[in-house]
Every structure is written in C-alpha cells, then in structure tokens.
C-alpha cells in the first residue's frame, strides 16, 4: 500500500500530475481544483492505490484529510475513484461536507457524471459519518475560510456545533436560510440562531 509519494513535480496535466521519485516518473490523478506548486518543486502527495483488471492507478491529494474525504466518497455504492475525483474537482472538501450536512442534492449533482439519484445516495450514506469533533479540530472556527460559497455554510454549522447544537439541527437551520454571496458568516449565524429558537 502506498501511503504517500514525495518527489519533484515534473508535469501538470488537466487530470493528473507526474512526480519523479527515485528516478521514476509516477502519474497520479488529482482533483482539477488542486493548488499545486510550480513544476520543479518538491511535493508530497497522499495517495489511494486502485487496482483493476486492466490498470493500476494512483489518486492523490495534498492532505490526509482530503484523502480521507475521497475514501468516504468512493465507499458509496456506485461511486468509483473517477466519480470521487469528479466530485472533489467540482467541490472543495468543505463545500462537499456542507452539501452533505445540509442534504443539498443539487450541489452534489453539479459534479460530472453524478446524477440526483447518486447524489442522494451519497448524502444518505455519509451524513452520519462526518465526525464534527474531528472537523472542529482541523478547522479553526474563528479564522476566515479560504474558499467561498459552501465554506460559509460549513463555518456556521461548525460554530453552531461548538455552541452545543446538534449537527442535524445546525444543518437544517442553515439550509432554511437564503444565503447570498455578499452575506457575512456572522449574519448567517444570527439568522441560523433565530431559526433554531423556533425548532
């Protein structure tokens, strides 16, 4: 089992990269949205090794947390590594977690090759597997999120969870808010607290 690969980034393609280590160039499939260093720089890629009848493939991510999210996604029936990569090429891990927690089928369905039926199955299978205790350690609620859109909702869910609300209630409250791009996290949080007051 290959846990990670450390080496020099040689090539960057639309769906994969080539990393040279020990004099060997290894092709690794990566999400399209991955923030990569420049070619020639050293890189560490955490990998998932897939063996099929006609090929052996490596899928890579810049953190173990992102790799764990990928493994959760492909554990869902009907979603293979290519489907998992398509989802994480369309949504960041934070955006995907938010979509799962808020049962947002439409957002998950944006990924290429993922229809509404598969999106519903993914949400159903994973919504109870997201460990909020672990996520709160990995994400500092007081810090602004690096990405937009879905991460705002995710920050609010984290904040509500840290205040003692259940994950399901927090996600439900956030889902009921009509969130615009210019809304601040603080404003969304206030509206969510109002929603929770009448649950």
Give the pLDDT of residue 142.
43
What are the boundaries of each domain within the chain? Answer: 4-62, 65-197
- State the pLDDT at residue 49: 97
Q: Is the entire prediction scored with pTM above 0.75? A: no
| Residue 145: per-residue pLDDT | 44
**Which pLDDT does position 94 carry in this prediction?**
80
CA-CA distance, 126 to 129, in Å (whole number)?
5
Domain 4-62 shares a fold with domain 65-197: no
- What spatial distance separates the first Cα and last Cα of the chain, rounded to whole Å? 47
Helices marked H in the chain = 64-74, 81-90, 93-101, 105-108, 116-126, 132-138, 150-162, 167-175, 185-197
Q: What's the CATH class of domain 4-62?
A: mainly beta
> Inter-axis angle of helices 185-197 and 167-175, to 10 degrees?
110
Per-residue pLDDT of the chain (199 residues; tens, 9 = 90+): 799 999 999 999 999 999 999 999 999 999 998 899 999 999 999 999 999 888 899 999 999 999 999 999 999 999 999 999 999 999 988 889 878 877 889 999 999 999 999 999 999 999 888 765 555 555 544 444 444 556 788 889 988 988 888 888 888 899 899 988 889 888 999 899 989 888 6
CA angle, 191 then 185 then 138, to 5°: 120
What CATH architecture applies to the domain 65-197? Orthogonal Bundle (1.10)
């Amino acid at each position: 089992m290959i846990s990670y690969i450390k080496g020099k980034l040689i090539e960057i393609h639309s769906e994969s990269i080539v990393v040279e280590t020990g004099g060997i160039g290894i092709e690794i499939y990566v999400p399209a949205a991955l923030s990569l260093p420049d070619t020639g720089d050293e890189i560490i890629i955490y990998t998932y090794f897939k063996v099929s009848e006609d090929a052996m493939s490596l899928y890579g991510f810049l953190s173990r947390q992102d790799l764990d999210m990928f493994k959760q996604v492909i554990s869902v029936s009907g979603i293979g590594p290519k489907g998992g990569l398509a989802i994480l090429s369309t949504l960041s891990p934070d955006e995907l977690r938010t979509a799962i927690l808020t049962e947002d089928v439409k957002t998950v369905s944006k990924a290429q090759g993922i229809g509404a039926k598969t999106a519903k199955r993914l949400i159903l299978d994973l919504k109870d597997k997201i460990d909020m205790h672990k996520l709160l350690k990995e994400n500092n609620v007081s810090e602004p999120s690096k990405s937009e859109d879905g991460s705002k909702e995710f920050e609010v869910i984290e904040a509500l969870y840290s205040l003692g609300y259940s994950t399901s209630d927090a996600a439900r409250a956030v889902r009921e808010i009509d969130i615009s791009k210019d809304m601040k996290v603080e404003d969304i949080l206030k509206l969510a607290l109002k929603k929770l007051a009448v649950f």
